[in-house]
Structure 1
Amino acid sequence: MLETAILAAFLAFCRIGACFLFLPGLGSARVPAQVRLFVAVGASLALLAHLWEAIVPHVSRQPQTMLVLIGSELLIGALIGLVARFYVLALQFIGAAMAMMMGYGMAGGGVAVEENEPQPEVATLISFSALLLLFVFDFHHAIIQALVASYRLAPVDALFNPQSALVDLSDTLSAAFFVMIRLGSPFVAYAILVNLAIGFINKLTPQIPIYFISLPFVIAGGLMLLYFGIGTFLRLFADGFFPTTIGG
């Protein structure tokens, strides 16, 4: 009985731990690996009581069978985590594009919230605010509910389906980027109009370096647009998370 419980707990940890590895926020480079490990172990042990009947009947003492189940559980958990992470990666993409359109493209880059890579400060602020808003709205609870429901939709003995996983990932990626393009459309229109006006002025007065003169005004206009639109931007981002990822 003890051996069966240990194997069942390890199978639960494979799916839940793989999901937490890619989950936005918990899977961030800012969170130490020990913290992520302990959170995954704690969540696995807490959910094992609810998932006992879904996992224990499929536990086997055959090494070959257990290796196949472990690999399948790791891939299923990674799929659930990647679906949520793609939505945040799309936000980082549109945040960097918005910073470039506002005139911060050549500014000194900060550090991204999720990754150890340079990112404009405006994009970092947008990413951090959106991620904080998701935690305020308890998105991690919804992910845990999705993990519990995944044992009904994708049982342990059903194994991982690569074709279905690729379809889910491609649909999520497409829907996430469509949402982000719509959210960043005011800044796209602002960049087109401003650069068009600057180009016309530069043609009229080629002796004056219009680009360097106009850069502070471009940044000021972009900051004003961000000030008046950031509330709606974050609200629409949070509203689109569940339908695009686990709710879709």
Structure 2
Amino acid sequence: LKRLYGRQIEGYMRNGINHIDKQDFLKAYYTARTETMNSANIHSSFAATGLVPYNPERVLSKLHTQLRTPTPPLAMATEQGPWVPETPYNTAQLKLQSKAIKDYIKRRTTSPPSPADLALNQLVKGCQMAMNSAVLLAEENKQLRAENERQKKKRAKRRSYIATGGVLTVQEGLNLSQVANIQLESGVANQEATVQTRAPRTCSLCRSQSHTARTCPTKQVSN
């Protein structure tokens, strides 16, 4: 658990985060605990200590150093076919490509290594370094993008505080939460109840609401 948690913190540091707050701690601890506390690790731990299944000899037998003959590596059942020259996309294909080119050169001449071979080796080495750097940069860029997105979401969350200081009991916290919910519901109800009404039609000449300026008697008398 300690090793996995430290790995999570190292990932934060590589992404430029040097301050770990509560949310970062909980996220890193949850990830490390989830990876550690699984059924396979628990079963292997109990079995390694000789508890389940009960076998004290499993622990006692490890108190004495015993020399063991290393097992020889198994031979490969099948060998890969010859490499067909093509554009390499990783370091393994680049090695096969360079080997094929060197074989072609050896078939053409039996002279000692020439400057062309040295230049080819240098070119292969440079390509390997470039490919490895590209893979590392792509992975680092992916981690930085993910961490930046997580930080944006964390900053976008609204924080609400129900107390500014002192000791707050559970009942007081529930009461404050209920009051906040009631105020929120009343505010929504007031907004729904507030409906804009249109003012009645009024004559612009005599300010009467029984007619308009087009049918106003004052206008007809003046005409």
Query: After TM superposition, is the score higher than 0.5?
Result: no
More helix by share: 1
- Could you tell me the TM-score, scaled by structure 2's length? 0.30
- Could you tell me the TM-score, scaled by structure 1's length? 0.28
Larger RCO: 1 or 2 (CA < 8 Å, sep 6+)? 1
